[in-house]
Amino acid sequence: MCSDTEIPEISGATPLPPPQEAPVESLPTPLIFNAIQRSSHLLRIIIDIDKAMTNAVLLQTTEHFRNSSFGGFDLKKVPSEYVQEMYAAEIFGHTKDYFFHHIAIDFLMDEIIAHKIALVNYPRFVTVEVTPDQKISYHFDLSIADALELKEWKHFAFRSPKRKRYKDLDKQVCSFVESRHNQSRRLNYTLVEEDDWVLFETTLLDCKNNPVHYGCRSSFWIKLGRQELSDSLASQLINKSIGDSFQTTSFSGYAPSNQTGECCYSFLVTIKSLIKCGHTSLEVLKTTFRLKNKTDVHNKLMEIFSYRNDISQRQAIVDEVFHLLLSKHRFEVPKHLILRREEDIIGNLSRQPDYHVYKSQEDFQTSVEMLAEKQLKEEIIIDQIAYTENIKVDLKDTINYLYLLSSKRLKEFIYFKPLLERIEETSSPINISTISQAVMREKTLNFIIHSLTK
């Protein structure tokens, strides 16, 4: 067993206190969520952004147009009414893009979980409209699963796959913990550095650097890799601390730009949390897997060191859990939902160098179909249990999830990935809500394993 080494807790592991501002309850909500049942497996979701918020951003977009060179013309001395009329399509396009990336996606995903909607596959954006009362309305289609009648799954007999008994495996775990502990001594837990995950909040500003509207706030995660530090936003985050703020117009991909490539919006960026990934945190492991002491941590780490037939003990446990749950809960997934998942799987495979080798196999299509059905059944039952057990996700859960995902070894504990594929390799800002569903599923899976093995 490893020595009783103190290993630092990751920075930001405890959710930050709420900002000192007016309570959300005292402010009118600028967003409305409506769900319309289109068929037994299809929901149309309509998200309305109210007139006040829409007009605030439209006016600010117009002002940004006037203060920039658009289409080769200097618009600074042109009346706002003329700019609004001549560039109406462009102004509306910038406004709806801002709302889509910064407001609508997060609100949609949060409401899906809040309303306990059994989402199957990714939400599909349908259209954006302007309602007669000057609201911007976003329409999404959601494929949904049939409700399941859960049995008393906590009382199912479960035999956990055993670890291999090679003596050197314990030494490998100890060596891993010790090496990661030594790495932690070189980390600066107060400053944002290369390879950190950073959570930041953006506030849309007007031309006088005041917030445009109280609802124009959004949060994103970003992974700062070395190759991304030349990016203006990433470079501005470096050497900042939690709570630091700065103003930027560098938000490529998430803020519309004019024809010169300049961002049309100004944001106040505030750093809310950061994750140091170069060490092993006992606190993260204890919290994530409900462990009591370092012996439990050692045994938990053994799950990703003990392999049999190229499958880790952790993967074998997960496979057995789903085999048990699905054998006790028999249900079918509609064929059209499976076909859509197949498209996603093939789309991801096609970006891999060995795709043509896979595709040339005789059983390729059959394997893809079986994988699609397997994924959907596992997601459907895990969501049903999550909603039934009222599993909630907070900032600490997301921090722990990203911490595990960022380690080449520890990410073997992660089974469910977010909507964004290859999240651990992306360099773009990620909407905070796009991670929530995967974090909820992962937390539920760990809850199930704990319940069946305690």
Q: Per residue in 249-307, pLDDT tens?
A: 877 545 555 444 444 788 999 999 999 877 778 888 999 999 998 899 999 999 999 99
Residues 224 and 357 in one domain: no
Q: Tell me, what's the pLDDT at 92?
A: 87
Share of the chain above pLDDT 70, in %: 83
Residues 109 and 225 in one domain: no
Does any domain span residue 15?
no
Does any domain span residue 123?
yes
Residues 331 and 400 in one domain: yes
Q: Tell me, what's the pLDDT at 20?
A: 36
How much is the average pLDDT of 135-156?
Answer: 93
Residues 111 and 182 in one domain: no
Residues 440 and 315 in one domain: yes
The pTM for the full model equals 0.87
For 52, 65, 157, 271, 364, the CA distances from 263, given in Å and listed in that order, are: 23, 11, 58, 20, 45
Residue 202 CA to residue 5 CA, distance in Å, equals 39
Counting the structural domains of the chain, the total is: 3
End-to-end CA distance of the chain: 22
- CATH for 314: 1.10.3120
Residue 171 CA to residue 256 CA, distance in Å, equals 53
Are the CB atoms for 205 and 268 separated by under 8 Å? yes
DSSP 52-114: HHHHHHHHHHHHHHHTSEETTEE-TTS-HHHHHHHTHHHHHHHHHHHHIIIIIHHHHHHHHHH
Residues 251 and 285 in one domain: no
**Where is pLDDT greater, at 21 or 308?**
308
Does any domain span residue 20?
no
Does any domain span residue 385?
yes
Asked whether the predicted pLDDT for residue 448 surpasses 80, the reply is: yes
Q: Tell me, what's the pLDDT at 21?
A: 39
- CATH for 231: 3.10.50
Residues 269 and 248 in one domain: yes
Q: Tell me, what's the pLDDT at 11?
A: 37
Residue 72 confidence class, pLDDT cut points 50, 70, 90: low
Are the CB atoms for 280 and 201 separated by under 8 Å? no
Residues 286 and 407 in one domain: yes
On the 0-12 / 13-18 / 19+ scale of CB atoms within 10 A, 73 is exposed
Asked whether the predicted pLDDT for residue 18 surpasses 80, the reply is: no
Residues 256 and 241 in one domain: yes
Q: Tell me, what's the pLDDT at 78?
A: 65
Asked whether the predicted pLDDT for residue 235 surpasses 70, the reply is: yes
Residue 82 confidence class, pLDDT cut points 50, 70, 90: low
Domain that holds residue 248: 197-275
Does any domain span residue 17?
no
Q: Tell me, what's the pLDDT at 179?
A: 78
Residues 426 and 284 in one domain: yes
Does any domain span residue 417?
yes
Asked whether the predicted pLDDT for residue 420 surpasses 70, the reply is: no
Question: pLDDT digits over 373-414, tens only?
Answer: 999 999 999 999 999 999 999 999 999 999 998 888 899 999
Q: Which domain-ending residue is among 275, 292, 320?
A: 275
Q: Which domain-ending residue is among 244, 260, 275?
A: 275
Residues 253 and 389 in one domain: no
Q: Tell me, what's the pLDDT at 79?
A: 66
Q: Tell me, what's the pLDDT at 56?
A: 93
Does any domain span residue 295?
yes
The per-residue pLDDT of the chain, averaged, comes to 84
Q: Which domain-ending residue is among 212, 245, 275?
A: 275
Does any domain span residue 206?
yes
Question: pLDDT digits over 87-132, tens only?
Answer: 788 888 889 999 999 999 999 999 999 999 999 998 999 999 987 7
- CATH for 72: 3.30.70.1050
Residues 230 and 179 in one domain: no
